[in-house]
Amino acid sequence: MRPCVSARGHGHRSSGFSLTELLAALAVLSIILASAAPGFAAFLRGQQVRSLAQELASDLLLARSEAIKRNLPVSLVGSASGLAGGWAVVVGTERLSSRNQPPLTVDFANAPDAITFDENGRVGALSSNIRITVGNAEASRCVELDLSGRARTHYGSCT
């Protein structure tokens, strides 16, 4: 009985990558990733600033809506180190929401220690908009609280 031989004969090689080709592809890939990593890290920190500004605006909206719903004053209060150390939305002694200190170093420029909404959803004794710049070296976002108590964010620092 004859052994089974492929149609291509004895010179048939299996398809795939050789070790040399694989190492060359990995070297090219590592060079591409090394050049893209610094830009990606800055992008990631910018997205974290954006997310933190959105969380602050969301908690301001929560405090305003709860003040209107409960017909009681509701406050957004920073930690002992200010908003950079985290914050909480409180009604009297009840904590409705809280945020821990963010994992990255962020400045909260022009941020008051506490923002209190009255029963009508307005910030008491407010003569102008509150503008808080949330940012670091890579990015900044402005969280603006207008006279009616509505919060919104936009790109860049507050002017």
The pair of structure tokens assigned to 64 is 């305003």
Phi, psi of 139 (to 5 degrees): -155, 160
Report how far residue 157's alpha carbon sits from residue 138's, in angstroms, rounded to the nearest whole number: 12
Q: Are 133 and 57 in contact (CB under 8 A)?
A: no
Beta-strand ranges (E) seen in the chain are: 74-79, 82-91, 94-99, 107-109, 114-117, 130-135, 140-145, 151-155
pTM of full prediction above 0.85: no
Give the pLDDT score at 30. Answer: 87
Give the pLDDT score at 40. Answer: 78
Give the pLDDT score at 15. Answer: 76
- In tens, the pLDDT along 50-109 reads 989 999 999 999 999 999 999 999 999 998 888 888 999 999 889 999 998 887 778 888
Q: Which domains does the chain have, with CATH numbers?
A: 19-155 (3.55.40.10)
- What does each C-alpha distance from 10 to 4, 7, 13 come to in angstroms? 11, 9, 9
Give the pLDDT score at 146. Answer: 87
- In tens, the pLDDT along 92-150 reads 889 999 998 887 778 888 888 889 999 998 987 666 788 888 887 778 899 999 888 88
